[in-house]
Amino acid sequence: MNESSLLLTIAILGGTGKEGKGLAYRWARAGYRVIIGSRDSDRAAAAARELADLMNDQVVVEGMLNQMAARQANIIVMTVPYAAHRETLEVVKAEISGKLFIDVTVPLKPPKVAIVQMPEAGSAAQEAAQILGGEVQVCAAFQNISHEHLLDDSPVDCDVLVTGTSTEARTEVLRLVDAAGLSGWDAGPLENSVVLEGLTSILIGINKKYGSTHAGIRITGVTRTE
């Protein structure tokens, strides 16, 4: 734990899903206050209890409705299925103004989830930016990390690409990537999120073809200078 993390609250909207719970687990371990958000308060509370049990009650993870979770948090993370993306954003929009928003959503359209299918806005993250307006810093990240990695304490052989509406926002998200025990890279402006989101369909296809659940990406040939 560190002092800066304890000052921040992260709300994970749609956090009852596997990806949301995985991220919640990582950040709770790092000392952040984490709130699981859901359209169903009972499901949110059950997911929070599951994570508390997993960590032997060493940290407190709370569960509540999405709108209340967004209201109480400094940082909002969206992990809902794409079918619920716009509706959830409209519900919590008033609670997110002036905050950092991280979109993990991928515009998957069953049954052809291994085919890249992007929305008219360009990406789910760009769609979120349009809905939320200019008072919100929007980033896209974590689309290409398997939830099985996140709920495992072992090192993760996969990098996280981060795009966003400003350098400052991307830097903050990269801190969260590091806090989660992952390796992150600044992948530029939010327009580049089309690549992050599209990669997920490609990785799903690779997993299916080669009988895996852990396909990911690594950035090679670059020496870190920071």
Measure the CA–CA gap between 213 and 30, rounded to whole angstroms. 26
d(CA 76, CA 33): 12
- With bands split at pLDDT 50, 70 and 90, how would you rate the model's confidence at 87? very high
As a whole number, the mean pLDDT across the chain is 92
Report cis status (omega within 30 of 0) of the bond before 189.
no
What integer pLDDT is reported at residue 152 of this predicted model? Answer: 78
Longest CA–CA span in the chain (Å) reads 47
Residues 6+ away with beta carbon under 8 Å from 26? 150, 179, 180, 181, 182
The string of pLDDT tens digits covering residues 112-129 is 999 999 999 999 999 999
Q: Quick one: fold of 3-210?
A: Rossmann fold (3.40.50)
Indicate the pairing of strand 159-164 with strand 33-38. unpaired
Domain ranges of the chain: 3-210
- Token pair, residue 29, equals 């371990």
Q: What percent of the chain has pLDDT over 90?
A: 83
Average pLDDT over residues 177-204: 96
Query: Which residue has tokens 């890279």?
Result: 185
Angle value at C-alpha 5, between 152 and 80, nearest 5 degrees: 55
- pLDDT in the model for residue 41: 95
Written as one letter, the residue type at 102 is I
Give 41's contacts (C-beta < 8 A, 6+ positions apart). Answer: 63, 64, 65
- pLDDT above 60 for 74: yes
- Residue 7, pLDDT score: 64
SS3 content of the chain, % helix, strand, coil (to 5): 45, 20, 40
